[in-house]
Amino acid sequence: MVPQFDRDTFLTDGGLETDLIFNRGIDLPEFAAFDLLKDEEGKAALREYYEPYIGLAREHGMGFIYGTPTWRASPDWGEQIGYSLEQLEEVNRTGVSLGSELRAQAGDDVTVLISGVVGPQGDGYSPDSLMTAAEAQKYHAWQIGVFADAGVDTVDAMTITYPDEAIGIVKAASEAGLPVCISFTVETDGRLPNGDSLAEAITLVEEATDGAAAYFMLNCAHPTHFDAVAADLSDEIRERIRGIRANASTMSHAELDEAEELDDGDPEDLAERYVGLRSALPNLTVLGGCCGTDLRHVRAIRDAWVAG
CA dist 137 → 77, 86, 209, 210, 215 (Å): 16, 20, 12, 16, 18
CA-nearest of 2, 120, 19, 8 to 63 is: 8
CA-nearest of 168, 172, 178, 175 to 148 is: 178
E strands along the chain, which residues?
Answer: 10-11, 63-67, 112-118, 154-160, 180-184, 215-219, 241-246, 286-289
pLDDT tens for residues 19-30?
Answer: 999 999 999 999
pLDDT, mean of residues 48-77: 97
pLDDT tens for residues 245-256?
Answer: 999 999 888 788
pLDDT, mean of residues 143-155: 98
All structural domains of the chain: 24-307 (3.20.20.330)
Question: What pLDDT was estimated at residue 1?
Answer: 44
Which one has a higher pLDDT value, 71 or 263? 71
Q: Which pLDDT band, with edges at 50, 70 and 90, does 7 fall under?
A: low
Question: What pLDDT was estimated at residue 202?
Answer: 98
Q: Which pLDDT band, with edges at 50, 70 and 90, does 215 fall under?
A: very high
Question: What pLDDT was estimated at residue 308?
Answer: 81
Question: What pLDDT was estimated at residue 5?
Answer: 64
From its phi and psi, is residue 177 left (phi > 0), alpha (psi between -120 and 50) or beta? left
